[in-house]
Amino acid sequence: MNYLYLKSLHIIFVTTWFAGLFYIIRLFIYYKEAEKKPDLEKGILQKQYKLMIKRLWYIITWPSAILTFIFATLLLYIQPIWLSTKWMWIKLVFVLLLYLYHFSCQHMVNQIEKGFLNYSAFGLRIWNEVATILLFAIVFLVVLKNSIGWIFGTLGILGVSILLMLGIKLYKRIRSKRSWDKE
């Protein structure tokens, strides 16, 4: 029974961790886009986004990442048989990539705490898709537990992400062209 409680807690904290990872990038984008506003508006917006980023990152996202790790470790300790499966090792590689993604977001948080962000809003939108791709790969792998299933699932979301990015780029081009027509 302890295993099921641990598994439930693991799933809950994975969910809150991903929620934080998805929303933090949105806040980065809003912070970056505020740079184009007049100084007064820019100052107010960036101050608010900075506060929201700090609270989300240190109150929700980091604790969720740590608790996810703790509960995953306990699950593997209770059920070490999972470590003898190929799919679990592949999953752990994706989880490692997810933690590297998390640390890259920490780098961006550190920049914002210093008052700047060296990434474009468009680049951040693309970077946001990395967490989505990792989520799909991990979920397909855990549910299907074979290498072929998660490969097709991940390739599918990668294809959708590429189409989405092309659509965003096209929309951006059309929007900028329209703003030229109005001037």
Instruction: List binding-site positions for heme.
Output: 10, 91
Spatial CB neighbours of 30, under 8 Å, sequence gap ≥ 6: 45, 49
- The CB density around residue 154, as the number of other CB atoms within 10 Å, is 20
Buried b (16+ CB within 10 A) or exposed e, 98-129: beebbeebeebbeebeeeebebebeebbbbbb
**Nearest Cα to Cα of residue 78 among 136, 6, 131, 15:** 6
What is the residue whose two structure tokens read 């986004």?
49
**Cβ 128 vs Cβ 99: under 8 Å:** no
Binding residues: 10, 91
- The CB density around residue 140, as the number of other CB atoms within 10 Å, is 19
Handedness of CA 22, 28, 32, 33 (dihedral sign): positive
